[in-house]
Amino acid sequence: MKKLSQKTLNKSFITWFYGNLTCFSQEHMQTFGYLCAMLPIIEELYDKQEDRKSAMQTYTAFFNTEPQVGSLVVGMTAGLEEAKANNQPIDGEAINGIRAGLMGPLAGIGDSMIVGTLIPILLGIGLGLSGGGSPLGAIFYIVVWNVLMWFGMKFAYFKGYELGGRAVEILVGEKAQAIRDSIIMIGTIVIGAVAASWININTALMLPGGGALQKTLDGIYPKFLSAAAVIFCWWLMSKKNISPTMVMLLLVVIAFVGVLIGFFNPGLSY
């Protein structure tokens, strides 16, 4: 019976950890990074060159998901490839079907949990530590992010290898939808909290009667302009498909024009 060694599994994981975006393009996305991660697995399981070529063809198909949580798929297919090499009823088509079926669910979970929740939390802490130009914030983010990703991705990889095909039901079954909905809700709350804490937009405009518009807005809806700016940016990116870079440039233009016409005061806006 063929059994993958710990050394080979570690090599496969490290290749995915550092190279999941290898030769990244809009046509292939993470395909080549995935293929490189599976190369040590294939080399140990199959002795004949023809068998290795056939097995590697499985991993030339398009693949793209959230790379951190996606470590689970790489580990799982390593386990499935091991079962296939031991003549169990698993073929390349079945492995590809599982990969394709898990890309979407894992992308949703990973984007909500990592991009929408963890990264804003770490950045929020880092910004708090960077007051007065201190480098502690950047150091904190770099160290904590890499430590969390190393151990988190390694756990996901080896858990996928351990579960094999049983991971499919866990990730796309009935309970999976409830898990994804919960993570999305947490991510939304975190984004709202970060926006409320770090975005502070005020206006210097005076009303015809002599009162300050900002004071009137605070009496009706505190931080109204800040909330409006967040919703505006969300609308541009999600509904109009404008890139984040273009949105940032647009905000610079709006701020510049706003200061020129007296709507914003540089001393009051952040």
pLDDT at 174 (0 to 100)? 59
pLDDT at 270 over 80: no
Predicted confidence (pLDDT) per residue in 164-208, tens digit: 655 555 554 555 566 556 656 766 676 677 677 778 888 888 877
DSSP letter for 203, please: -
Q: How far is the CA of 228 from the CAs of 87, 171, 186, 200, in angstroms?
A: 60, 36, 21, 11
Share of the chain above pLDDT 70, in %: 87
Q: pTM of this prediction? A: 0.63
The residue among 199 and 235 whose pLDDT is bigger is: 235
* Per-residue b or e along 198-237, where b marks 16 or more CB atoms closer than 10 Å to that residue's CB: eeebbbbeeeeeeeeebeebeeeeebebbbebbeebeebe
The predicted structure's pLDDT at residue 253: 92
Phi-psi category of 132—alpha, beta or left, where left has phi over 0 and alpha has psi -120 to 50? left
Lowest-confidence segment of 11-20, 44-53, 70-79, 181-190 by average pLDDT? 181-190
For residue 141, the model assigns a pLDDT of: 92
Predicted local distance difference test score (pLDDT) of residue 175: 59
The total of other beta-carbon atoms located within 10 Å of residue 163's CB is 17
Domain ranges of the chain: 6-187, 200-260
Provide the residue type at 18 as one letter.
Y
Which segment of 2-6, 171-175, 195-199, 248-252 scores lowest on mean pLDDT? 171-175
Cβ neighbourhood burial of 5 (10 Å; 0-12, 13-18, 19+):
exposed
| Gyration radius from the chain CA atoms | 24
Do the Cβ atoms of 12 and 77 come closer than 8 Å?
Answer: no
- pLDDT band at residue 269 under the 50/70/90 scheme: very low
Question: How far is residue 227's CA from residue 221's CA, in Å, rounded to a whole number?
Answer: 10
Give the pLDDT of residue 127. 83
Query: Which position has the token pair 């708090």?
Result: 128
Residue-level pLDDT at 197:
72
Q: Tens digit of pLDDT for each residue in 64-76?
A: 888 888 888 889 8
Asked if 68 and 156 count as a contact pair (C-beta separation under 8 A), the reply is: yes
pLDDT tens profile 99-157? 777 787 788 778 778 887 888 888 888 888 887 788 888 999 999 999 999 999 999 89
